[in-house]
Amino acid sequence: MIHVCSLARLHETVERTGARHVITLINGGTVLTRPSNVDPTNHLFLGLNDIVDEMEGLVAPAEHHMHELLDFVQSWPRETPLVIHCFAGISRSTAAAYATLCALLPGRDEAELAWELRRASPTATPNVRIIALADAALRREGRMVSAIAAIGRGGDAFEGDPFALSLD
């Protein structure tokens, strides 16, 4: 099971779900206290900004971030849930969760997985740069990008509600 949440809901989500693996996608300078039951080797921290285009002074999601993410999720043993979070639980984390689904379920249709994301989170607005990087890394030939475009922008919110995605 994959759980997605905001930074503010990280500790309660990890505790509630029993997760032992966490992926953080957040601005590099953001103060973060890792949940005490998550070993540092089971925590992937990707310091990047929620931007689509390169901007001076900010860190755009890049190919090396995507490779780190995909390596991490491929090595996740799935014995306990995985929590993916960003600042608001709306853009970077939902993009990473969708990329994780596509990586771990290579035979599943991209559009079907995108609609599962939309049903689970009406506010999900996946970062399109992260989606494009995942699409290229997973050799999905633009299908991930098209699928996310098809579900459209999520509803406006300051913070997304935590939600879960199944790997079944």
Residues 92-107: tens digit of each pLDDT: 999 999 999 999 999 9
Across 65-96, b (16+ Cβ under 10 Å) vs e yields bbeebbebbeebeeebbbbbbbbbbbbbbbbb
Residue 111: φ, ψ to 5°: -65, -40
pLDDT of residue 140: 97
pLDDT-derived band of residue 166, with 50, 70 and 90 as boundaries? Answer: very high
Residue 168 pLDDT greater than 90, yes or no = no
- pTM of the full predicted structure? 0.96
For residue 165, pLDDT beyond 90? yes
Closest CA to 102 of 47, 142, 157, 56: 142
3-class SS at 75?
A: helix
**What is the C-alpha separation between 89 and 70, in angstroms, rounded?**
19
> CA-based angle 35:68:19, to the nearest 5?
30
Given this model, what pLDDT does residue 81 score?
97
Q: 81, 3 in Cβ contact below 8 A?
A: yes
Cβ atoms within 10 Å, residue 49: 18
What pLDDT is recorded for position 44?
A: 97
Q: How confident is the model at residue 70, as a pLDDT?
A: 98
pLDDT tens column, 119-136: 999 999 999 999 999 999
Neighbours of 114 (CB within 10 A): 24
- Predicted pLDDT of residue 29: 87
Q: For 61-76, what is the mean pLDDT?
A: 97
- 77 Cβ contact partners less than 8 Å away, ≥ 6 residues apart: none
The reported pLDDT for the residue numbered 31 is 86
Question: Which is nearest to 18 in space by CA: 164, 116, 168?
Answer: 164
Q: Give residue 110's pLDDT band: very low, low, confident or very high (50, 70, 90).
A: very high
> Cα(46)–Cα(77) distance, rounded to whole angstroms?
20
Percentage above 70 pLDDT, the chain: 100
Average confidence score pLDDT of the chain = 96
Q: Which residues contact 41 (CB under 8 A, 6 or more apart)?
A: none
Confidence of residue 16 (pLDDT cuts 50, 70, 90): very high
